[in-house]
Amino acid sequence: MSEKRIDEPTGTSTVGHEWDGIEELDTPLPRWWLLTFYACIVFSIGYVVVYPAIPMVHGATAGLWGWTSRGTLTTEMRAEQAKHATIKAALLATPLDAIDGDAHLRHEAIEGGKAAFRIHCTTCHGAGAAGGKGYPNLNDDDWLWGGDVDAIHATIAHGVRQSADTASRMSQMPAFGSTGILKPAEVQDVVSYVRSISKQDAPDAASARGATLFTANCAVCHGPDGKGNRTLGAPNLSDSIWLYGGDRASLTETVTNAHYGQMPNWGAQLDPVTVKMLAVYVHSLGGGEKAAAPAPAPVAPAAK
Amino acid sequence: MTMHKAIPTDTRPPPKSFYERRKPVFPRKIDGPFRRFKWAVMGLCLAIYWITPWIRWDRGPYAPHQAVLIDLAHRRFYMFQIEIWPQEFYFVAGLLIMAGIGLFLVTSAVGRAWCGYACPQTVWTDLYQHVDRLIDGDRNAQMKLDAAPWTASKMAKRGFKWTIYLAIAFVTGGAWIFYFADAPTLQREFWTGTAAPVAYACTAVLTFTTLWLGAFMREQVCIYMCPWPRIQSAMLDEKSLLVTYKFWRGEPRGSVKAAEKALGTVGDCIDCGLCTAVCPTGIDIREGPQIGCITCALCIDACDRVMIDIGRPRGLIEYTTLENAALEQQGAAPVPILKTLRHPRTLIYFGVWGAIGVALLFALGTRTRVGLSLAHDRNPAFVMESNGQIRNGLTARLENMEDRPRAMTLAIEGLPGAKFYTDAMDSTAAVRSLPVTLPADATLPLRLYVTAPHGTTAGDFAFTLTSPTEKAAPRRATTRFLTPETAP
C-alpha cells in the first residue's frame, strides 16, 4: 500500500495502491461518458413510469401509456384486416360462380385462399394439396362430392361426416366383411371385380362371381358399372385414383372394414369470406369443374 | 516513494494539430483561350444536365414520352430509342465501366483534363466563383470585404450572395429529380405541393450538397475529399500533359527593371503573382506539379498575357510532359504532342474502352424483345388424373419488352400426346398451341397445366413463344415433365 500521490508525467493522482511497483492512475471518467450515464438514469426513470417494467405477481406494472406488445399486435392485425376490408366485402357480395369471371376478384380470392389453406388444410391435404392415403388429392379431376366451385364450397363449409352439421356430407359404406354381409371369399371376388373394372387385372372367373355380388351389394351406391355417385359421395371405382389404395390388400381392407374419413365443417369455424376464398383456391388447382357444361373457346387471359 | 510537494507543470509543447484551416481563395478574373474553353465546357455540361430531362420522345401509348428517364417505380430505363429492363442492367454497368475506363483514357492522354474542365465539382465551383466576382467584385474587393468587420452593409451583401447561392443550388441540384419522373408533370406537382415526398426530400438533399460542396467547400473537395486526384497521381507518367512552370526559363525571378540592369542574370518570371491570383484552388504553380493543381490552365492564360505585355515569348507556364520538360532543359527539340498522345498506354485504354463500346452496341443490336421462362411446380410435382393421364403444373412468365401489345403463340414442343390448358380455361379445352396477347411492355404470368397420356415417361420438353407476323426466332424454354416413376 503506497500513499496517494500525483503522477508526474500525466499530472493525475494515483489511487494509492501499488503491486510490485506498479501503480494505478485515478483517471476520471470522461465527461461525455458520465453525462451519457446520467442521461441514461434519467431516461430509465421515465421508462419505468410510462412502460411496463416492474414484475408483479400477475404480469408487470401497466405503465402510464398502457403499452403492451399484445396491444401492438392487435392494432397491427386490425390495420392489416382493414386493408383487406374492401376486397373482402366485394368477395362476400359476389356469388361464387361470378368470382370466376372477375379476374381481379379471382386473383384476390386465390391468394387469400392459398394463405388460409396453409393454415387450416395442409395438416391433412399437404402443402401442395396433393393429399395422401385417406386424404384426397385436391389437384386432380376426381371429386367425391362434386368438383364445381359450389360443390367444393359446400364440402368445405359443412365438412364430411360431421353429425353436428345437418348439411354435412354424409355417407356410410357398410363394413361388408367384418359385419358378415360378405364372406371372406366373396370379399375377394368383389375385389377381383373392382380391379377388373379399373383395368388393373384382366377379367377372370373370380371377377365374374364378383360382378354378381357387386350388382347385389355395391351398385346401389357405386352404380351398376362402378362409376360412382357424387350425390352419395360414392367414389368412382373404374378410374385410376384411389383414396385408400387400389391394390388387392388395400381394397380387401376397404371392403371388409370400410373407411369413414372426416373433415371439419369449416363454415362453423371460419368466416364466410375465408370459406369462399378456400373454395375458389381449391377449384383453381387444376381439377376444378365448370358448373355449366359447355366450355368456352381458348382465350388468352387478361394481363394482371 | 516520496511525497511530492508541488504538482509539476508539463512543459512539453502541445501536440501538433493535423487540422489545417482553409485558406480562403479569391481567384482573380482572367480572360484567355483556356478561360473561354472553360466557359464553353461549363455551358455545355450545365446545358446537357439541365435540358436532357425536358427532351420529349414519342413512344406511343404504352410508354412514357421522356427521352431520358430512369423509371425506378416501374423498373425501366429509357434512353431515347433504347429501353432497358432490370435484367438488362449490364448495359448500364457497361456504360459505367466505359465511363471509368474513359477517365483512365483521358488521364493517360491529356492528364487531369477531367478535373480541370468537366468535373461537376469544377463546373459548380467555377460558377460560384463567378457569382462572387459579380456581387462582391474582383479579387481585391473580395479580400477586403472578407477582412472587413460585420457591418450591416456586409451582412446585407452576404445575405444577398448566399440567397443567390441557394437559388443556384436549388435550380441546378434540385433539377436532378426530373430524370426520375415525367419532368413537366413533376414540375407541376412540385409547385402545387402534390409531388411525392421523396421528390421534395431529394431536392432538399441535392440542393444542400450542391450548396455545401459547390459554394462553400470548393477546392477542398478536390484537395481533401476526392479520391480521384490520388488515383491520378499514380497514373500520371513522364508522358502525361501537365501544367508546367518552366523554371529553367523563369528563374531567378526579377522585375523588368532588374532584368534591364543585369542583363542575362534574371529569368523571365517577373514574380507578378498573377498565376497564383487566378488559381481557383489557390496554389502556386511555380512550386511544381502538385495534388492541388486541377490543370484548368487559367495560370497559362494569366502568364501568357503578362509575357505579351512585357514583350517576352509566351509559354513560361504551359501544358508540357515531364519528358518534354527534360528535353527542353537540355536544349533538345520536344516530342510533338500528337506523338505523345499515341503512346501505348493510351492506345491500350482506348482499345479496351472501344471494345466494350462495340460489344455493348452489338448486344444492343441483337437483343430480343420477348422472353419466356418456366417454373415447374414443386409440390405436387405431378398429379394423376382419373383417366390415367399425368398432369404437371407450371408457371410461365411471358415478357413483352416492346411498347405495343403483341399477338403471339405459345406452343408445346416435344412430349408426344401432351396438351396444356391455362387456369382460365377448362381442362377439356386443352390444346398444343395457344394464341396469347402479350400486353405492352409487361410480363404476363400464366398458370399452365400440361397433361400427357398414361404411360408417358419422364423427360425434357419445351415451350415456344412465336409470333405469326414477326420474323424473329422463337423463344424457347425447356423444362422437365415429371411422372410417378421419377418423382422425388
Spatial distance between the Cα atoms of B316 and B249, rounded to a whole number of angstroms: 7
Separation between Cα atoms, residue B105 and residue A79, nearest integer Å: 57
> Residues A157-184: what's their mean pLDDT?
93
* A174 near B CB under 8 A: no
Q: What is the DSSP letter of B114?
A: I
Question: Quick one: angle between helices A248-257 and A184-197, nearest 10?
Answer: 120
pLDDT at B59 over 80: yes
Determine the residue type at B277.
A
The mean-pLDDT minimum among B133-142, B239-248, B439-448, B464-473 falls in B464-473
What radius of gyration, in Å, describes the C-alpha atoms of chain A? 35
Q: Tally Cβ neighbours within 10 Å of residue A88.
A: 20
Task: Parse chain A into domains and list their residue ranges.
Answer: 1-66, 82-160+263-283, 184-257
Give the integer Cα–Cα distance in Å for A274 and A91: 9
Q: Is the pLDDT of residue B477 over 90?
A: yes
* pLDDT band for position A298 (cuts 50, 70, 90): very low
Residue of A nearest to B384 (CA): A140
Residue of B nearest to A1 (CA): B1
Residues 6+ apart with CB under 8 A from A298: B421, B422, B425, B429, B431, B434, B435
B476: enclosing H helix or E strand: strand B475-481
Indicate if the pLDDT at residue A163 is higher than 50. yes
pLDDT at residue B7 tops 90: no
pLDDT value of position B5: 52
Cα radius of gyration rounded to whole Å, chain B: 34
- Does B448 contact A at CB distance below 8 Å? no
B201–chain A nearest CA distance, Å:
27
State the architecture of A82-160+263-283 in CATH terms.
Orthogonal Bundle (1.10)
Q: From A285, which residue of chain B is nearest by alpha-carbon distance?
A: B423
Q: CA nearest B226: which of B111, B128, B132, B120?
A: B120
Give the C-alpha separation, B431 to B410, whole Å: 10
Q: Cβ(B409)–Cβ(B466) under 8 Å?
A: yes
The dihedral through the CA atoms of B176, B182, B184, B190 has a sign that is negative
Tell whether B436 is within 8 A of chain A (Cβ).
yes
A129–B contact, CB cutoff 8 A:
yes
The better pLDDT of the pair A159, A294 is held by A159
pLDDT on residue B13? 66
Residue B222 has pLDDT above 80, yes or no: yes
Angle between helices B344-366 and B90-110 (to 10 degrees): 160
Q: What's the farthest any 2 CA atoms get from each other in chain A?
A: 117
Nearest CA in chain B to A110: B423
Helix (H), strand (E) at residue B434: strand B433-438
pLDDT at A112 over 50: yes
Cβ atoms within 10 Å, residue B95: 15
Query: CB count, 10 Å around CB of A48?
Result: 13
For residue A173, the model assigns a pLDDT of 94
B152 lies within 8 A of chain A by CB = no
φ/ψ of residue A163, rounded to 5: -65, -25
Mean per-residue pLDDT over chain A, rounded: 90
d(CA A180, CA B326): 118
Nearest-angstrom CA–CA distance, B109 and B232: 12
| pLDDT, position B258 | 80
The count of CB pairs under 8 A between chains A and B is: 99
Q: What is the pLDDT of residue A1?
A: 53
B/e letters for A241-273, b = 16+ CB within 10 Å, e = fewer, are bbbeebeeeebbbbbbebeeeebbbbbeebeeb
Rounded to whole angstroms, how far apart are CA atoms B437 and A193?
Answer: 50
- The CATH class of A184-257 is mainly alpha
H helix or E strand, kind and range, residue B413: strand B406-413
Q: Could you tell me which of A150, A144, A55, A45 has the C-alpha nearest to residue A100?
A: A150
* pLDDT given at position A51: 94
pLDDT band at A300 (very low <50, low <70, confident <90, very high): very low
**At A302, is the pLDDT very low, low, confident or very high (cuts 50, 70, 90)?**
very low
Question: What does the pLDDT read at residue B9?
Answer: 61
Q: Is A3 on the interface with B (CB under 8 A)?
A: yes
What are the residues facing A148 on neighbouring strands?
A: A289
- How far apart, in whole angstroms, are the C-alpha atoms of residue B303 and residue B312? 11
Residues of B in contact with A6 (CB under 8 A): 4, 7-8
Band of the pLDDT at B22, cuts 50, 70, 90?
confident
Q: Is B42 helix (H, G, I), strand (E, B) or coil?
A: helix
Q: Do B421 and A298 touch (CB under 8 A)?
A: yes
The pTM (predicted TM-score) of the whole model is 0.74
Give the domains, in start order, of chain B with CATH numbers: 33-234 (no CATH), 237-335 (no CATH), 370-486 (2.60.40.10)
Report the chain A residue with the minimal C-alpha distance to residue B11: A9
Q: B-chain residues within 8 Å CB-CB of A298?
A: 421-422, 425, 429, 431, 434-435
B444 neighbourhood in chain A, CB within 8 Å: 301, 303-304
Residues B219-227: what's their mean pLDDT? 91
Nearest residue of chain B to residue A142 (CA atoms): B386
CB A130 to CB B379 under 8 A?
yes
Position B15 confidence tier, pLDDT thresholds 50, 70, 90: low
A142/B434 touch (CB, cutoff 8 Å), yes or no: no
Residues A152, A278: Cα–Cα separation, whole Å: 9
- pLDDT tens digits, residue range B342-357? 888 899 999 999 999 9
Query: Looking at per-residue confidence, does B487 or A277 come out higher?
Result: A277
Do B385 and A296 count as a contact with CB atoms less than 8 A apart? no
pLDDT in tens, B95-118: 999 999 999 999 988 889 999 999
Within 368-427 of B, beta carbons closer than 8 Å to A belong to: 377-380, 383-388, 391, 393, 421-427
pLDDT at B487 over 50: no
Q: Under a CB-based contact definition with an 8 Å cutoff, are residues A129 and A117 in contact? A: yes
For cell 435550380, what's the residue?
B171
B438 contacts B405 by C-beta, under 8 angstroms = yes
Confidence at residue B342, expressed as pLDDT on a 0 to 100 scale: 85
Residue range B209-238: average pLDDT? 90
pLDDT tens across A259-270, in order?
A: 999 999 999 999
**A296 or A173, higher pLDDT:** A173
Could you tell me the pLDDT band of residue A292, with boundaries at 50, 70 and 90? Answer: low
Query: Which residues lie across from B470 on neighbouring strands?
Result: none
Whether the CB of A297 is below 8 Å from some CB of chain B: the reply is yes
Closest by CA position to B128, among listed B189, B192, B213, B201: B213
Q: Which of A292-301, B118-127, B399-408 has the lowest mean pLDDT?
A: A292-301
- Residue B484 pLDDT grade (very low, low, confident, very high; cuts 50, 70, 90): confident
Cα–Cα distances (Å) from A2 to A10, A22, B2, B304, in that order, read: 18, 10, 10, 77
Confidence of residue B161 (pLDDT cuts 50, 70, 90): very high
Least confident of A244-248, A290-294, B483-487: A290-294
